[in-house]
Amino acid sequence: MRFNAKDLALLAKRPSGCFDKEGKLKICRVVGDEKLIEPRERWCRLKGNLLFLMKNKSSEASEVVILERCWVVEFKSKTDVSIILKFQSGEPDLYIEAASKPDCEAWAVALGEANSEGLRNKIQQLRRLIMEIKEERASEEARQFLPSSQVDSLGEPQFTSIQRIANEPKLEFSLACKGLVAATRDRKLNTFIQVSVVHPAEHILTRYSSTEIVEGTRDPLFLTGVTFPPEYPIYEETKIKLTVYDVKDKSQDTVLTSVLPDHKEPRADVGRSFLGCATFRVGDLVKSKEQQLTLTLRFLSRTSDGGKTVGTIEVNLVKMGEFEDGEMDHITTDAQDQKFLCFLPLKSCSCGFLSATCAHNTENLERMTDRRAKEECALVRECTAPEGLSGKDNLPSLNAVLKNPICKLYRFPTSDNKWMRIREQMAETTLSFHVPKELINLHIKEDMRRNQELKDLGELAPHWDNMRKSVIAHCDQMLSMYQDTLAELGKHTGSSFKSSCSKGEKTLEFIPINLHLQRMHVHSPRLKDALYDVITVGAPAAHFQGFKNGGLRKLLSKFEAERRNTGYQCIYYSPENTAKAKEVLSNINHLQPLISSHADLLLNSASQHSPDSLKNSLKMLSEKTELFVHAFKDQLVRSALLALYTARPGCVLKKPAVPRSSAEESDDLKHQNHPSQIKRQDSIPHHSEYDEEEWDRVWANVGKSLNCVIAMVDRLLEKDNSSKTKEGESDPSAADCKVLHAGGDWYEQLYPLVITLKDCMGEVVTRAKQSMAFVLLQELACGLPQCLMLTLRRDIVFSQALAGLVCGFIIKLHTSLHDQGFLQQLHTVGLLVQYEGLLSTYSEEAGMLEDMAVGISDLQKVMFKVIEAKSEDFLPIITGRREHYVIEVQLPAKMFELLPQEIKEGKLLRMYPVLFNVGINEQQTLAERFGDTTLQENINQENLELLKEYYNLFTEKMPPDCLPHFQEQNDLKGLLENLHQNIQAKRRKNVEIMWLAATICRKLNGVRFTCCKSAKDRTSMSVTLEQCSILRDEHQLHKDFFIRALDCMRSRQTQGALNESDDPETGCLTDNKPTSRHFYPVALLLVSSHLLVVWLILSLALLLAKYQ
């Protein structure tokens, strides 16, 4: 990087008031833990991201430090007044020492906020503050519409509300124009309608939405309707203004009109001209007998009174569930004349609707339609409400998960000349932040337990003790980072999702990107209503950490290979052994308190002389103790105890440490019951004085103590039964006295045996905890600090993936509560979760794909459990640890009663996540021609085997009639075989893989996910294409309207006149210039290197021309 030395020197000599901070500091460079020279006193001046170091206040700057790609390490000690500035570039750290602790803290804050990342954080905070202010103003919107005389004592507006069904839109209507008059006779109109709302007692227009553009007709019929969500403040007194425009310059219309004030009409020279407008009251439409209004369009001018009539506009009230009669013959005959224009957005609106960008992606994705036209597919079951469960009962739990729904309404013709209505809904989810916060809290508790277990190892030899101190220091640092992240997330307010522009923020790295529910509700004439759900989310990946060295898949493989070569420093344990050690520790923490509580219950039953209670307590105690004993029946515990013994001070090693293979360990497990065949553990050193059979005796004492308790209880119950038969005819008062005396005898006889059981269990727990903690110490010590950084990265990716999975499971459970076949499949087999990836295997996206593959694979360790909600809080509860989590989903009592008995009893529900990825963008073209697609091929092949495994399990455990009548087993088998052939074919951009995987998922009642880098452009292309294909194949969408329906769903124009400044995805006002397009297909230019150079030069020239 080049700088002008003279300008920097002038900047350093500016007056003191021009700097952000200045003062005396002691500074030196540090490499590792060693200072290169002693700290020297310097006068430091901070301006922006430049830190000037001067010998004194009046001298020239001797050094300039650029505060980019660096971070501040502040020491937590109360007496320490120094900080260290670390650089990502690898240059020596900068040691900074202040005069006092407050001064040190002030410099730490100033330096931390000086770089561009600190500036971005400030911008994000200001954006969130703006969003909060807007939300507060919106909540008081109704109060501003009324004068004080029309507000009641409670401060609520006195307006007539619209009757509606709970959680349904307040108002929906469709539009059509007839007899529009053009300025010139020969001109064909390209029209659309701008919908604006005039609130009661106000005279200011608020633009609400727009229809699509219908091209080439004077009688346009708009497929896009208007819908007002439940929370929108609309009443019968509300007025709606409909303004019709004729589009001239179609390429600039959506851009130039999006930045106009609400009360101003666009100029005629900006690409469209005003044709006419009409206004109606909502009450007139709702109360009309035919639920239809025919309004006169008038062109208002200063010279004419009342305006000139330019046509009529029809407004039809829409109610999902009621059919609309229309002139379908007129629609089909004029289908060739009416052309629908799809506007490509400047930027996706992450708060609402999906949109499209590049025609290059369209060509690749629309190959899927050929296949869909050939096969009759069943992608969803009929959706009907179960008896005894109303929509209101379903609302509380769903509203706890979903929020800010945004709807779009369409009407499309069917092949038999009928109308079908489609309501497209996109909603945010509160789980975007709830699940990561719960998960981070569990990580903190787990890491604190691990650190304490390492401290409880006792006295160790100097080598091992130094290793332990180093591990604990690094773990404490990571623990502090988790705590800081949780604190920052706790401060978050505003939107409940993370936009794509925030994917590089450190404080939000655990949050999934653009997590939304995309739902299509279809009401067709001859079929029952159907729901089609797709969860859209950005690929789970550690964007803040970057992908310079690849993603998790590559990093984990490289780390494991390097860790095998560090056996001279520590003992190598395989990943399976370390996972087993974590499982043993988890079982100890779970079972020990349970056994103690059941033992106390047993003594309580003995003191009360209750035979039935005594039997039940003994049964529970026996079951938990057997699980406890079985948890330690592993060679790993025995070998770890020996390793820990040799690590104690004063132990003389007689045999060096030699790594041992897992095959030898499994061989020991087979012969551990034969003393003559026991092999010595070669992965740890041995000591001649260590008694290897001591652990077996301690471990066996627990079982022996339990047998003594069982024998004593049996003896007591037998005596009790015999005494009752002999003394049945004796004096009752004497019998009562004997019962009381016997009760005392029971407690006195069981008490010492129970205490012995607890003591034996305590000794086993102490030894097992220390041995397993020693195994974890080896894992951490062999890979510091990479091990902890990989754990952090994996936690970040898993957090993003888990948030989406929990959302998908809850939505699927709510929509399928009435489906007994699905519920049986859920607890018998498990739930299939299919991820559709659209990432390329080129550059950074290859690293994202590696992260995503590991994160989705880790979801196999997640189990779900459905419980009855005990309060009004329906958010899921997360328990467990790394490698094993249980998600408890809460349902209201009425919904919980609909579940099968197995699920009610708390049976854990398994997940089967699969990922199929096909890159479709220009970067994938580069990867296929010049790069490597092996990663994508391996991922698809591995997940195909997982999908086959689920299918085989499904066919074994489920009856053939569990699927709808049109989904036969042979059909599924054929689709699987076809998918296998397409994966083996290794064709370029083979989108057939996505179509087949999605079809199989829906046939198997699975949950669908669609992911790309940010869940915007490529995701929207895929989802909208899938929705239109479903309408065509399942609901008989008219063949001439397929492309037009697709254009409507992808049109930015139909999303309303949303100002770019109000777009939470962009957060800033964009230029009025249209977005630049790639005029030259990359695939064509890659034919030769000369053409590629020409293309690069032309593209650079276009960019320079744009920004001049």
Percentage of residues of the chain with pLDDT beyond 90: 28
- What is the number of other CB atoms lying within 10 angstroms of the CB of residue 225? 23
The label of the residue with tokens 């009855």 reads 868
Averaged pLDDT, 136-147:
46
pLDDT of 430 > 60? The answer is yes
Cα–Cα distance for residue pair 684/551, rounded to 1 Å: 33
Which residues is 172 bridged to in the sheet?
227
Residue 745's Cβ-count burial label (10 Å; 0-12, 13-18, 19+) is middle
Q: How confident is the model at residue 82 (pLDDT cuts 50, 70, 90)?
A: confident
pLDDT band per the 50, 70, 90 thresholds, residue 241:
very high
Q: Provide φ and ψ at 674, rounded to 5°.
A: -115, 105
pLDDT score, position 122:
73
Q: How confident is the model at residue 294 (pLDDT cuts 50, 70, 90)?
A: very high
Whether 1021 shows a pLDDT value over 60: the answer reads yes
On average, the pLDDT of the chain sits at: 77
The percentage of the chain sitting over the pLDDT mark of 70, rounded to a whole number, equals 73
Range ranked top by mean pLDDT from 41-50, 391-400, 570-579, 1003-1012: 1003-1012
State residue 1108's pLDDT score.
53
Which residue(s) pair with 879 in the sheet? 886
Instruction: Give the integer Cα–Cα distance in Å for 198 and 211.
Output: 18
- Tens digit of each residue's pLDDT (9 = 90 or more) over 822-870: 999 999 999 999 999 999 998 899 999 999 999 999 999 999 999 999 8
Q: Is the pLDDT of residue 451 over 70?
A: yes
Question: pLDDT-based confidence at 683, cuts 50/70/90?
Answer: very low
What pLDDT score was predicted for residue 1005?
92
Q: Which tokens belong to 53? A: 């170091």
Mean per-residue pLDDT, 580-584: 86
pTM of the model: 0.71
Interval 677-689 mean pLDDT: 39
How far apart are alpha carbons 308 and 306 in whole angstroms?
7
Number of H helices, E strands in the chain: 32, 28
How far apart are the two ends of the chain, measured CA to CA in Å?
A: 24
The whole-number pLDDT of residue 12 equals 84
Give the position of tokens 């002693």.
38
Hey, what are 880's tokens?
């467990």
Question: Is there a contact between 880 and 825 (Cβ–Cβ < 8 Å)?
Answer: no
Side chain identity, residue 321: G
Average pLDDT over residues 517-522: 92
786-815 vs 552-563: helix crossing angle, rounded to 10: 140
Q: Which has the minimum average pLDDT: 226-230, 631-635, 766-770?
A: 631-635
- Inter-residue contact 534 to 1026 (CB < 8 Å): yes
pLDDT at residue 341 in the model:
37
- What span, in angstroms and rounded, lies between the C-alpha atoms of 515 and 350? 9
List active site positions.
1012
Pair of tokens at residue 317: 């009230």
Average pLDDT over residues 200-222: 85
Which residues, listed in sequence order, are joined to residue 411 by a DSSP beta bridge?
421
Helix (H) or strand (E) holding 144: helix 141-144
Give the C-alpha separation, 317 to 169, whole Å: 12
Name the residue with higher pLDDT: 995 or 10.
995
pLDDT value of residue 969:
61
SS3 613: helix
- At residue 376, does pLDDT exceed 50? no
> What is the gyration radius of the CA atoms in the chain, in angstroms?
35
Q: What is the pLDDT of residue 664?
A: 43
Distance between CA atoms of residues 950 and 1020, nearest Å: 29
Closest Cα to residue 980, out of 1012, 949, 944? 944
Q: How far is CA 109 from CA 73, 105, 114, in A?
A: 11, 6, 9
Q: CA angle 746-751-752, nearest 5°?
A: 125
Decide: residue 293, CB within 10 A, 0-12 exposed, 13-18 middle, 19+ buried: middle
- Least confident range of 146-155, 597-606, 705-714, 751-760: 146-155
Q: How far is CA 599 from CA 590, 605, 627, in A?
A: 15, 10, 15
Cis bond leading into 649, ω under 30°? no
Listed in sequence order, the DSSP H helices in 816-968 are 820-828, 844-858, 893-896, 901-904, 922-930, 934-957
What is the tens place of the pLDDT at every residue in 304-339?
A: 555 788 899 999 998 765 544 444 444 443 444 444
Helix (H) or strand (E) holding 532: strand 530-538
Which two tokens mark 596?
């103690």
